[in-house]
């Protein structure tokens, strides 16, 4: 079976990269299980003793929501519905400062590990439990998609078993997170995010080369009607407009980086508010 002249099966190199990624991730967890305080205190396990540097935390923040949903979904969205979706990045520019300078100081002042601690202190235990349960339910569905989506893609393109992908990735991630705590999570995110960026860059370079250069890529996109920016249509039923992306997207990014437990807990691993805001 061929696609674009390339065999649609995993070769030795592909399996080697896949295996190395899983093994290195697991070893990072083992390393942090037996170094430092060996994950014997809640402070180390949950917030890495608050002595993490900006670099791994920054990469982890970027990688935490750059899953298969992003890597597969965003290119597909642009291919089928045009480049209008890129304006979501405008919302990022305005949304993240709001999260950093409005929400984050509150959590740092209270020195909470969980955003739901704030809810309990502000609104009561019932509110904390309801919000926590909602977040857990959301993440269960989210993680199901995050594991299943790349497994389907790998199975369709290479023939690798969906179950092999889901089980191997799921078990390794659970392993290093459980034994290595937040330090293992942050450094593994750094390692995996670098692999993702290298892979994405390789895809762009090879794809552009195979298409005949950037001019050809742009020409094909224009002829396919995919180049679209600055649609100011106020109709809320339109799939993407400046209003829904650049304006509405601000609320999305504030929710992700301002009050999402996965992000806030990472931000609490540095020793100062200033570093977290950077």
Prediction pTM value: 0.87
- Residue 23 CB contacts under 8 Å (≥ 6 apart), including other chains: none
- The b-or-e profile of 20-51 (16+ CB within 10 A means b, else e) is ebbeebbebbebbbeebeebeeeebbbbbbee
- For the chain, what is the mean pLDDT? 89
Cα–Cα dist 188/182, whole Å: 10
Give tens-digit pLDDT for 166-194: 998 899 999 999 999 999 999 999 999 99
* Residue-range domains of the chain with CATH: 2-277 (1.20.1730.10)
Cα–Cα dist 116/127, whole Å: 8
Q: Which of 36-40, 91-95, 112-116, 199-203 has the lowest mean pLDDT?
A: 36-40
| pLDDT at residue 9 tops 80 | no
Give tens-digit pLDDT for 63-109: 887 777 888 888 989 999 989 999 999 999 999 999 999 999 999 99
User: Quick one: average pLDDT of 26-43?
Assistant: 88
């Amino acid at each position: 079976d061929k696609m674009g002249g390339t065999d649609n099966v995993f070769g030795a190199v592909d399996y080697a990269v896949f295996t190395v990624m899983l093994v290195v991730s697991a070893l990072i967890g083992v390393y942090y299980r037996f170094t430092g305080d060996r994950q014997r205190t809640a402070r180390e396990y949950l917030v890495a003793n608050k002595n993490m540097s900006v670099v791994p935390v920054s990469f982890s923040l970027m990688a935490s929501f750059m899953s298969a949903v992003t890597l597969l979904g965003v290119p597909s969205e642009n291919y089928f519905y045009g480049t209008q979706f890129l304006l979501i990045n405008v919302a990022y520019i305005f949304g993240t400062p709001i999260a950093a300078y409005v929400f984050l100081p509150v959590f740092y002042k209270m020195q909470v590990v969980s955003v739901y601690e704030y809810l309990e202190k502000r609104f009561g235990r019932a509110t904390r439990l309801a919000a926590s349960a909602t977040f857990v339910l959301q993440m269960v569905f989210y993680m199901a998609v995050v594991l299943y989506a790349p497994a389907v893609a790998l199975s369709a393109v290479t023939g690798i078993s969906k179950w092999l992908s889901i089980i191997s990735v799921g078990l390794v991630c659970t392993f290093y997170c459980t034994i290595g705590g937040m330090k293992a999570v942050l450094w593994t995110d750094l390692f995996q995010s670098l692999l993702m960026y290298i892979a994405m860059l390789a895809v762009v370079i090879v794809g552009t080369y195979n298409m005949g250069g950037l001019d050809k890529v742009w020409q094909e996109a224009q002829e396919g009607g995919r180049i679209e920016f600055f649609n100011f249509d106020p109709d809320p039923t339109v799939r993407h407009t400046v209003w829904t992306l650049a304006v509405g997207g601000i609320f999305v990014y504030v929710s992700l980086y301002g009050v999402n437990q996965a992000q806030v807990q990472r931000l609490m691993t540095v020793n100062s508010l200033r570093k977290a805001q950077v």
